[in-house]
């Protein structure tokens, strides 16, 4: 074929282009979108969006980190919702990964999942170990230790995110150091960042907040509920591109005299939300309709609690995991079980997935290899 006869990729029919783009790894797709406005427009096409959702549907990954005697420990389970009307779920036991079989440590704590990569934390005897694992390729890397010893009353927590501007995966460690001053105590929280492929940790500033575990990713930022020395609650964000920490007001109705352990941060569609389960009579979800606009908080969900039908719902912390196609919402009750709630139909349904203690996160399986990160030692199990 001569040069004049050669066909460019953009000359292919749109359905074929959609099929090719929908099967690219997430980071490759982000790069392609930045190369050409034509490719960017293709990825914004409604037909491509439908196809990309069907070829790589987001499911739920469950980390069963301890259990009753009849069940295994440190197991990964993968959940998919296969019916848009009934939201029946699919769990194939053949895909379960018994981490204890490959990693003789107990327990593994799942931090989060990004583009098929899953971050885990393991910290026996104050020695912290962070793993990045791809369950599909069975590859994993171990991160070097960060500075700051995790020993009471000091604490540390981890988050995992992706910078879509620089195409970098980052693990964020918040090291909380308790400080005593004039018979009062407060926390100095230092932010440390590890970019996958760089091989070292960096400090990215500090704030005078106590951080609550369980963060959420939204708009290329990681968000936490935080508390100042007086117990006032705010939301703190960490920008994964410029690595800046910022804070802004939390949802209404927070009372520092109340039991703050009953509140959690989540994502409702493309909005931040706060789940509040303090009241004995109901559980509620506040949604921030416009990002960082305090006046945009609205009470989106209220589930009344009655002893006759759902008294199990009350007082414990509840995490929002996913909003399904028709608006039904998937929650995690403490670390015990999943349940679905439909805001319009007012239906409530427990999901009998597995017994014992669990952590859960949205997850999209990917064959993207960790070997593409130069400088990291990749192991295979």
Kind and range of the H or E run holding 322: strand 318-323
Backbone angles phi, psi at 206, to 5 degrees: -145, 160
| Whether the Cβ atoms of residue 113 and residue 365 lie closer than 8 Å to each other | no
| Whether the Cβ atoms of residue 200 and residue 144 lie closer than 8 Å to each other | yes
Distances (CA, A) of 286 to 36, 121, 276, 293, 302: 39, 30, 8, 13, 9
- Dihedral sign (CA 93, 99, 104, 107): negative
How far apart are alpha carbons 213 and 224 in whole angstroms?
7
Spell out the per-residue pLDDT of the chain, length 381, in tens: 444 444 566 666 676 676 667 666 555 666 676 677 777 777 666 666 555 545 556 799 999 976 444 444 789 999 988 655 555 788 888 889 988 888 866 677 899 999 899 999 987 666 789 999 999 999 999 999 998 877 788 899 999 999 988 889 999 999 999 988 877 888 999 999 999 999 999 999 999 999 999 999 999 999 999 999 988 999 999 999 999 999 999 999 877 766 668 999 999 999 999 999 988 899 999 999 999 999 999 999 999 998 877 888 887 999 999 999 888 999 999 999 999 999 999 999 999 888 789 999 999 888 788 998 989 999 999
Distances (CA, A) of 205 to 124, 172, 187, 270: 27, 12, 14, 28
- Dihedral sign (CA 350, 351, 354, 359): negative
Backbone angles phi, psi at 376, to 5 degrees: -100, 140
Q: How many residues does the chain have?
A: 381
Q: Per DSSP, what are the bridge partners of residue 257? A: none
| Whether the Cβ atoms of residue 224 and residue 247 lie closer than 8 Å to each other | no
Q: What is the pLDDT of residue 60?
A: 95
**By C-alpha distance, which of 374, 376, 369 is closest to 142?**
376
Considering the entire predicted model, what is its pTM? 0.84
CA 62 to chain centre: 12
How far apart are alpha carbons 47 and 8 in whole angstroms?
21
How far apart are alpha carbons 338 and 74 in whole angstroms?
18
CA 199 to chain centre: 23
Decide: residue 308, CB within 10 A, 0-12 exposed, 13-18 middle, 19+ buried: exposed
How far apart are alpha carbons 367 and 154 in whole angstroms?
38
């Amino acid at each position: 074929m001569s040069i004049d006869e050669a066909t460019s990729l953009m000359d292919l029919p749109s359905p074929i282009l959609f099929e090719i783009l929908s099967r690219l790894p997430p980071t490759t797709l982000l790069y392609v979108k930045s190369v050409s406005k034509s490719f960017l427009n293709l990825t914004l096409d409604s037909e491509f969006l439908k196809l990309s959702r069907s070829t790589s549907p987001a499911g739920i990954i469950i980390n069963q980190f301890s259990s009753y005697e009849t069940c295994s420990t440190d197991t990964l389970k993968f959940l998919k919702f296969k019916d848009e009307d009934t939201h029946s779920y699919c769990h194939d036991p053949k895909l379960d990964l018994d981490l204890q079989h490959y990693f003789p440590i107990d327990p593994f704590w799942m931090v989060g999942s990004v583009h098929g990569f899953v971050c885990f934390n393991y910290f026996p005897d104050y020695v912290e170990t962070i793993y990045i694992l791809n369950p599909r390729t069975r590859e994993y890397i171990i991160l070097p230790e960060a500075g700051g010893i995790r020993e009471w009353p000091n604490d540390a927590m981890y988050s995992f995110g992706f910078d879509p501007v620089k195409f970098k995966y980052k693990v964020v460690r918040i090291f909380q150091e308790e400080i005593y001053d004039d018979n009062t105590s407060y926390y100095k929280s230092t932010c440390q960042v590890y970019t996958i492929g760089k091989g070292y940790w960096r400090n990215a500033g500090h704030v005078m907040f106590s951080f609550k575990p369980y963060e959420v990713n939204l708009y290329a930022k990681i968000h936490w509920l935080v508390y100042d020395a007086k117990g006032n609650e705010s939301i703190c964000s960490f920008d994964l591109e410029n690595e800046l920490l910022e804070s802004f007001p939390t949802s209404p109705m927070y009372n520092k005299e109340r039991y703050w352990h009953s509140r959690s941060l989540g994502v409702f569609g493309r909005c931040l939300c706060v789940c509040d389960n303090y009241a004995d009579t109901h559980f509620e979800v506040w949604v921030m309709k416009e990002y960082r606009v305090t006046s945009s908080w609205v009470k989106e969900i209220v589930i009344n609690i009655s002893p006759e039908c759902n008294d199990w719902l009350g007082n414990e912390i509840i995490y929002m995991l996913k909003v399904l196609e028709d608006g039904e919402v998937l929650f995690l009750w403490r670390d015990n079980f999943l349940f679905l709630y439909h805001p319009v139909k007012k239906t409530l349904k427990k999901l009998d997935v597995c017994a014992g203690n669990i952590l859960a996160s949205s997850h999209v399986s990917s064959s993207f290899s960790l070997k593409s990160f130069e400088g990291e030692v990749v192991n295979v199990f």
